[in-house]
Amino acid sequence: MSRVVGIAAALAALPILVVVLLLGAVGGTPPALATGTPTAVTSIAGLPHVTAPSKAAATAIAYAEQQLGKPYLWGGTGPDAFDCSGLVMMAYQAAGLSIPRTSELQWTWGPQVPASQVEPGDLVFFAGSDGAATSPGHVGIVLDPATHLMIEAYATGFPIRASQFGTAAAAGGDGVVVGFTRPWAH
């Protein structure tokens, strides 16, 4: 009987184990900061060490990292489940910044930054379900721009995770980036 219980416990932990194993394989080095003085460092087991460009960005990243493995829930704003924009909103709320609730409003709230100047803590946006770049329907928090790594609440059936953006290895919908914004610059 104890062997059955042990197997059941191992199977229950499998989604978290897979996430940890995948994150450990991502690796990477911290990006060089183009401007400013690094004010905080963040890391979690399996994720690259990231020097955040501001205390607000570091706090938002740390909050998002703490949510890894929690379930996706459309319209969710935590604490037990999130959707993409709910995760972003709550991460920046933890940093003392009030940002809009939806990815569409987060995109227009900006300020937008060029891809060549993206830093940890910036937001990365993707086309909505209608395929329109003018009204992005998905958002993630950039963790490491050098390796195209973000934290996102992707979709139903996928836990909050670190994943690639803007590359051929990215999940469906995450390959083509609409643009980036920097909430902590407000």
Q: Which two tokens stand for residue 177?
A: 């980036």
Mean pLDDT of all residues in the chain? 81
pLDDT of residue 45: 61
What pLDDT, in 10s, does the model give residues 87-108? 999 999 999 999 999 999 999 9
Local confidence band at 83 (pLDDT 50, 70, 90 cut-offs): very high
Q: What CATH number does the domain containing 102 carry? A: 3.90.1720.10
* pLDDT per position as a tens digit, 118-142: 999 999 999 977 777 888 999 999 9
Q: Of the candidates 79, 186, 70, 92, which has an alpha carbon nearest to the alpha carbon of residue 139?
A: 92
Count the domains in the chain.
1
pLDDT at 164 over 90: yes
Write down the residue that tokens 């059941």 correspond to: 8
Domain that holds residue 97: 2-185
Pick from 57, 71, 85, 67: nearest CA to 143: 57
Mean pLDDT of 8-14: 36
Kindly indicate the confidence band of residue 150, based on its pLDDT and cuts at 50, 70 and 90.
very high
The burial class, CB within 10 Å (0-12 / 13-18 / 19+), for 150 is buried
C-alpha 87/C-alpha 3 separation (Å) is 38
Amino acid at 130: D
Determine the residue type at 132.
A
Query: By the 8 A CB rule, do 179 and 112 touch?
Result: yes
